[in-house]
Chains A and B, each alone.
Chain A
Amino acid sequence: MSFVIDIASGILIALGCFFIVAGAIAMLRLPDVYTRVHGASVIDTAGAGFLLTGLMLQAGASLVTVKLVFVLAVFFFTLPVAAHALAQAALHEGVKPLLSEDRTSGDGKDQAASGRQP
């Protein structure tokens, strides 16, 4: 039985590490602030979720598992707040998002060439 749990938690931890590294690669490769936020959210939701679930399976039914659930809750409640504040502050400062299509006004004109404000 413990062998099965070891295998399952190993798979979950490996998946978590995969998503964490993929999110970090996203933060390196993507072109501007708003797209990089998506990379950070891959790290903080999928990566952290899988990794901490794997650790929970290792810990079994104990207070350690409760604390891991709290850590996960902290991740899931703080990420949207931080991401939203970041996007709003960047928009307020006038950092233009690099867009291939802007559907906010409904005309869908191409803004890819507008670039970033210095």
Chain B
Amino acid sequence: MRLVGLFGGLFLFWLALSGLFAPLLISLGVVACLLATAAVWRLNMVDREAQPLELLRGALTYWPWLVVEIIKSAWNVTKVVLHPRLPISPTMTVVKASQKTPSGIATYANSITLTPGTLTTGVSGHTLTIHALVKDGALDLESGGMDRRVSQFEGTA
């Protein structure tokens, strides 16, 4: 079932990138997608972690929230940078990740890095080391709003 989904996804990707619908090119695409699917099957990579289809429903609510967060913090960083006196207060801090799976922790760390103004510099187990441009960003993360969101997103799977 997952193999068929993978093949379909790869073939749609091929069609979207080529945009040509000549019979020769489409048959070449079918062959290429079959080879790729066979390679993935041989590597035993067809499981929940590699194709997290169940997460799509949670992603529909999580990604828009993340986009809004990115825009807000990008505006904050822009204000700080364009301020004539450059009022930065770089802060290093440590936050706990409450996610259960490794991919949940990776999602949390990547969300922190994607948000301008905060940067994950190290991960060990369930603790993340964060570098923040202004102190407020570090305090926001310590209060754990984003952590709860990512755990909720992970829980929908």
Query: What chain B residues lie within 8 Å of A80 (beta carbons)?
Result: 109-110, 113-114, 120
Q: Decide if A101 touches B114 in the complex (CB within 8 Å).
A: no
Query: What chain B residues lie within 8 Å of A103 (beta carbons)?
Result: 91-94, 138
Q: Decide if A42 touches B92 in the complex (CB within 8 Å).
A: no
Q: Decide if A22 touches B16 in the complex (CB within 8 Å).
A: no
Query: What chain B residues lie within 8 Å of A101 (beta carbons)?
Result: 89, 91-92, 135
Q: Decide if B89 touches A100 in the complex (CB within 8 Å).
A: yes
Kindly provide the distance from the CB of B82 to the nearest chain A CB, expressed in whole angstroms: 6
Q: Decide if B77 touches A26 in the complex (CB within 8 Å).
A: yes
Q: Decide if A38 touches B86 in the complex (CB within 8 Å).
A: no
Q: Decide if A29 touches B86 in the complex (CB within 8 Å).
A: yes
How many residues of chain B are within 8 Å of chain A by beta carbon?
Answer: 37
Q: Does B155 contact A (CB under 8 A)?
A: no
Q: Does A17 contact B (CB under 8 A)?
A: no
A88-B94 CB under 8 A given contacts A19-B78, A25-B82, A45-B70: no
B60-83 Cβ-contact flags toward A at 8 Å (1 or 0): 000000010011001101100110
A38-B116 CB under 8 A given contacts A26-B77, A63-B19, A87-B121: yes
Where chain A touches its partner, the secondary structure class is: helix
Query: What chain B residues lie within 8 Å of A88 (beta carbons)?
Result: 121-122
How many residues of chain A are within 8 Å of chain B by beta carbon?
Answer: 40
Q: Decide if A100 touches B114 in the complex (CB within 8 Å).
A: no
Docked complex: A24-81 residues within 8 A CB-CB of B: 25-26, 29-32, 34-35, 37-39, 41-42, 45-46, 49, 63, 66-67, 70, 76, 79-81
Q: Decide if A49 touches B70 in the complex (CB within 8 Å).
A: yes
Q: Decide if B91 touches A100 in the complex (CB within 8 Å).
A: yes
Q: Decide if A100 touches B19 in the complex (CB within 8 Å).
A: no
Q: Decide if A29 touches B119 in the complex (CB within 8 Å).
A: no
Docked complex: B105-131 residues within 8 A CB-CB of A: 109-110, 113-122, 129, 131
Q: Decide if A79 touches B135 in the complex (CB within 8 Å).
A: no
Kindly provide the distance from the CB of A32 to the nearest chain B CB, expressed in whole angstroms: 8
Most buried by A among B70, B74, B110, B138: B74
- Residue pairs across A and B with Cβ atoms less than 8 A apart, 26 shown, are A18-B78, A32-B90, A34-B90, A37-B119, A37-B131, A38-B133, A41-B116, A42-B78, A42-B81, A46-B74, A46-B116, A66-B16, A67-B16, A70-B16, A80-B109, A83-B119, A84-B110, A84-B121, A87-B119, A88-B122, A91-B121, A97-B90, A98-B90, A101-B91, A101-B92, A104-B94
Which 3 residue pairs of A and B lie closest in terms of their CB atoms, listed nearest first? Answer: A46-B74, A80-B113, A80-B110
